[in-house]
Amino acid sequence: MDKIIQITLGRGTLECQWVVAKVLKVFLEEAMQCDVTNLNTPRYYIKCLLDNEDLEEAEKLINYSLKIKGIDKATMWFYRSLLSEKRGSFLNALKFLSESEKYCFSSQSLDVVKDRKKFIKSKMPKKKSKNRKETK
């Protein structure tokens, strides 16, 4: 199963063919170690970790990334929401999406967050009304 993945690191673009997703994870981990000031690498590494279901590692990197000055916090909170959703905590996912909304500075990113909120709400179990009376 071959995948073509395009990764933007700094000014240049690297396009490689990866056979296994684990290789991508190793590559991004090395990129993080080589240039910790790059603001783009954590975003791709977190997405890779979430896709590979390395949830604990993704959580650590998200928490670290939120402390980096100049990083896109809307994206980091969005990924934190995805992490909570993968764990099955829809209420936390909604809470993190609300946090993401605070850092959205374009209408497109705000629309993505609002659509995701709507989608998560649709996945939540419906509560049955206690005051519902039976009709005969």
Whether the pLDDT of residue 39 is over 70: the answer is: yes
119-128: long-range contacts at Cβ-Cβ below 8 A with a sequence spacing of 24 or more? 120/81, 120/85, 120/90, 120/93, 120/94, 121/90, 121/94, 123/90, 124/90
pLDDT the model gives residue 32 = 74
Please give the model's pTM, rounded to 2 decimal places. Answer: 0.74
pLDDT the model gives residue 13 = 44
What's the chain's length in residues? 136
More confident residue, 9 or 66: 66
Of 19, 8, 16, nearest in space to 44 by CA: 8
When pLDDT is averaged across residues 77-100 and rounded to a whole number, the result is 96
pLDDT per position as a tens digit, 97-125:
999 999 999 999 999 999 999 999 999 88
When pLDDT is averaged across residues 39-59 and rounded to a whole number, the result is 89
Whole-number average pLDDT of the chain:
81
pLDDT the model gives residue 135 = 55
Of 1-10, 77-86, 110-119, least confident by mean pLDDT is 1-10
Give the phi and the psi of residue 95 in degrees, each rounded to 5: -65, -45
When pLDDT is averaged across residues 24-38 and rounded to a whole number, the result is 74
Beta-sheet strands, E only, within 1-136: 3-9, 12-18
Distance from C-alpha of 67 to C-alpha of 80, rounded to nearest angstrom = 14
